[in-house]
């Protein structure tokens, strides 16, 4: 790359977002190879990389294919056309898939077998196991399988998105004199894909057989009197992005309910087939699903590696998993404390998953039971209909509180759960709204209004993560409690914007998308550049999931040229190229991939002698700045600010075990050094968890 370039609009200065996302998935797959991880956790990482790739095709590749089909789409700062992106994606994705199966077969299976965990092929079954499999087939599978022969009266069946299917070739004549050549067998989704062989039939402590192997072994029993000449598993991935024109529907909930059904049968974008499937059979499937040769992925193993995710939970081997941990309770919030009194004394901060999510639920429970609480308002993006948060809000509404919940129905892949949640809340008497037409509500906010004497006091919880107890054990996030009146008024104004029409109200402390966040971030970057130009110390440290918004990147490039030291911790997509002489010499980018999913967004600006630190629900992406409702809130208490800087940023900048460093060519390299290993997540677990 010509690093003498100075035009910040030059496409050579930017990494393509889709290729960057694939690079993140490659880093996840690398965790499956890392012998420093427990063996069953390595298997989980393999499954996560497979699941990530599924979603990548369902959303990102599907969108690019639509752009090519309609000759539309706006090019990003890298100026790659949709067709060129698809070509490059295909090259990388085929490499990734081949590597996934190599990791399963050659890297993980041998050590798993040494530990008594084996995935048996049909050729490895002994007589007793084969008999058990046959009984299992007749008892569990035969009654629910519906083979379909392809002929004029039996057209090709509709194939569900990501479902397991078999293409079967036949010879012979059936009872009606038909010479069926091809048949389809669809495996119902209710059937487990990995079956544990009973101990009495196993030669090792944990032996498994794939559903596909059982069907393959007994597929002839589905076609009595016919000869099966071939049986090949396949899976089609479809476009799963929902399209609902918010402005043209009267009821978003009912429109989404109708669209969810169609998601299962969207346009085909990828076909996975067994590695041994003959070319003529692949051509038949290609024609049926209207896919090109580049869309075919041959799999040297089960076509859905994600289904192996169930295996670690089926095996009681703590020594092969990450050590169990119990999130601690902040000492300021012992069990049974009056939360309102605690928040009045000091602003409070919780660092998940190292510290427990339960105080958030307990605050809501106290609010629901407190006769002095008059209003509870909350945004819900992902939580689950059976979560304690949802149950508590239902109880509060039934207790007569004024409960208003902003439910984001279009939280991708959680739409169905959120529809169920919205229905339950409405039935309990809560006011449920779906945000603002054309904007996703991604902000994480709770507002509790409590009568205290002659005044109403506002208590607020703001977070970088979702109100989801399960992900609070898996994602790193910060939660913030305060009764600061200015913050409370800002949050109240945002809720008013979400529930009622009106002009954007001026906020005093919070930054909000789509109104002030983008311009404020750019202004703070430019302010730091001004300090550097004036010879004052200048530093930016920012942590986020993704960085792709071009004007923010340009501002960072300009700040680097002014001499600002910029350290970025970007878990996933990063379109910025660090380390370009004369352009981004002063920028370093690292990605942390570890036990927990790094999810918190933290923005620190040295600002000479008046440092500022913000926590946010928003990444530095165009959608977060311009197409979502997001909040970014300052941590003004010096003690809490230093804690976030230390735990959320500095610890990660010193990580040399789980960190990957991005170079100017868009490649990531492990941050291994000869010094003492430092694992940020492990250090925080040791320090904060019980």
Query: Is 276 exposed, middle or buried (CB count within 10 Å of its CB: 0-12, 13-18, 19+)?
Result: exposed
DSSP class of residue 357? S
Please check whether residue 347 is in contact with residue 487, taking contact to mean a CB–CB distance below 8 angstroms: no
Q: From the candidates 206, 216, 352, 442, which is the catalytic residue?
A: 442
Cis peptide before 514 (omega within 30 of 0): yes
Cα→Cα distances 212→137, 164, 209, Å = 11, 8, 8
Kind and range of the H or E run holding 46: helix 39-55
- For the chain, how long is the longest CA-to-CA vector? 91
For 340: left if phi > 0, alpha if psi spans -120 to 50, otherwise beta; the answer is alpha
Q: Other CB atoms closer than 10 Å to residue 219's CB: what's the count? A: 20
- b/e code 123-157 from CB counts within 10 Å (16+ = b): eebeeebeebbeebbeeebeeebeebbbeeeeeee
Does 254 participate in catalysis according to the annotation? Answer: no
Cα→Cα distances 102→46, 72, 160, 662, 668, Å = 11, 37, 27, 25, 21
Output the six-digit token pair for 137.
């087939």
The per-residue DSSP string of 47-105 comes to HHHHHHHHHIIIIIIHHHHHHHHTT-----TT---HHHHHHHHHHHHHHHHHHHHHIII
CA angle, 601 then 645 then 28, to 5° = 50
- Kindly give, in sequence order, each residue whose CB lies less than 8 Å from that of residue 19, ignoring residues fewer than 6 positions away: 85, 88, 89, 92, 666
Output the six-digit token pair for 278.
């003959």
- Kindly give, in sequence order, each residue whose CB lies less than 8 Å from that of residue 476, ignoring residues fewer than 6 positions away: 351, 352, 353, 596, 597, 598, 599, 600, 681
Please check whether residue 108 is in contact with residue 29, taking contact to mean a CB–CB distance below 8 angstroms: no
- Residues carrying an active site annotation: 442
């Amino acid at each position: 790359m010509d690093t003498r370039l100075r035009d910040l609009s030059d496409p050579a200065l930017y990494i393509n977002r889709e290729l960057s996302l694939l690079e993140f998935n490659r880093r996840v797959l690398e965790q499956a190879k890392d012998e420093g991880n427990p063996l069953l956790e390595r298997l989980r990482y393999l499954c996560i990389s497979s699941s990530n790739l599924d979603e990548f095709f369902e959303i990102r590749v599907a969108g690019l294919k639509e752009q090519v089909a309609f000759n539309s789409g706006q090019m990003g700062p890298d100026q790659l056309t949709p067709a060129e992106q698809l070509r490059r994606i295909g090259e990388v994705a085929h490499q990734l898939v081949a590597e996934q199966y190599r990791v399963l077969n050659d890297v993980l299976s041998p050590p798993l077998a040494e530990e008594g965990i084996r995935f048996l092929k049909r050729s490895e079954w002994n007589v007793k196991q084969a008999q058990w499999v046959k009984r299992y087939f007749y008892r569990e599978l035969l009654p629910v399988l519906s083979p379909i022969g392809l002929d004029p009266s039996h057209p090709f069946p509709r194939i569900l998105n990501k479902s397991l299917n078999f293409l079967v070739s036949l010879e012979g004549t059936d009872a009606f004199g038909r010479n069926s050549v091809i048949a389809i067998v669809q495996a119902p989704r209710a059937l487990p894909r990995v079956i544990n062989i009973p101990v009495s039939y196993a030669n090792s402590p944990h032996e498994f057989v794939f559903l596909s192997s059982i069907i393959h072994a007994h597929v002839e029993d589905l076609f009595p009197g016919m000869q099966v000449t071939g049986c090949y598993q396949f899976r089609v991935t479809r476009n799963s992005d929902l399209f609902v024109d918010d402005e043209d529907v009267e009821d978003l909930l009912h429109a989404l309910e109708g669209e969810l059904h169609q998601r299962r049968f969207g346009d085909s974008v990828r076909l996975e087939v067994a590695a041994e499937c003959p070319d003529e059979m692949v051509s038949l499937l290609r024609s049926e699903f209207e896919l090109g040769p580049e869309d075919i992925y041959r799999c040297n193993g089960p076509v859905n590696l994600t289904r192996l995710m169930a295996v670690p939970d089926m095996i009681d081997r703590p020594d092969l998993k990450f050590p169990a941990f119990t999130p601690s309770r902040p000492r300021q919030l012992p069990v049974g404390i009056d939360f309102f009194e605690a928040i009045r004394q000091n602003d409070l901060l919780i660092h998940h998953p190292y510290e427990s999510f339960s105080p958030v639920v307990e605050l809501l429970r106290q609010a629901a039971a407190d006769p002095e609480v008059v209003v509870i308002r909350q945004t819900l993006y992902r939580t689950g209909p059976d979560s304690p948060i949802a149950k508590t809000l239902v109880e509060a509404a039934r207790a007569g509180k004024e409960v208003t919940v902003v439910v984001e129905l279009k939280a991708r892949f959680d739409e169905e759960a959120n529809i169920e949640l919205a229905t339950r809340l409405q039935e309990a008497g809560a006011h449920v709204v779906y945000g603002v037409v054309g904007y996703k509500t991604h902000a994480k906010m709770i507002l509790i209004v409590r009568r205290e004497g002659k005044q109403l006091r506002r208590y607020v919880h703001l977070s970088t993560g979702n109100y989801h107890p399960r992900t609070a054990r898996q994602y790193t996030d910060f939660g913030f409690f305060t009764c600061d009146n200015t913050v409370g008024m800002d949050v109240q104004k945002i809720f008013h914007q979400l529930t009622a029409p009106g002009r954007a109200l001026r906020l005093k402390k919070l930054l909000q998308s789509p109104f002030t966040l983008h311009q404020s971030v750019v202004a703070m970057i430019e302010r730091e550049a001004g300090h550097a130009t004036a010879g004052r110390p200048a530093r930016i440290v920012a942590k986020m999931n993704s960085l792709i918004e071009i004007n923010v990147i340009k501002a960072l490039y300009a700040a680097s040229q002014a001499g600002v030291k910029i350290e970025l911790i970007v878990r996933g997509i990063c379109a910025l190229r660090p380390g370009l002489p004369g352009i981004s010499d002063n920028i370093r980018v690292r990605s942390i991939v570890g036990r927990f999913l790094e999810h918190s967004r933290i923005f620190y600006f040295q600002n000479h002698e008046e440092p500022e630190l913000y926590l946010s629900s928003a990444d530095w992406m165009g959608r977060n700045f311009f197409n979502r409702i997001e909040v970014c809130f300052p941590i003004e208490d010096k003690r809490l600010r230093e804690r976030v800087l230390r735990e959320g940023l500095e610890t990660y900048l010193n990580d040399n075990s789980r960190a990957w460093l991005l170079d100017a060519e868009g490649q990531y390299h492990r941050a291994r050094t000869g010094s003492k290993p430092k694992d940020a997540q492990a250090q925080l677990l040791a320090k904060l968890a019980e």
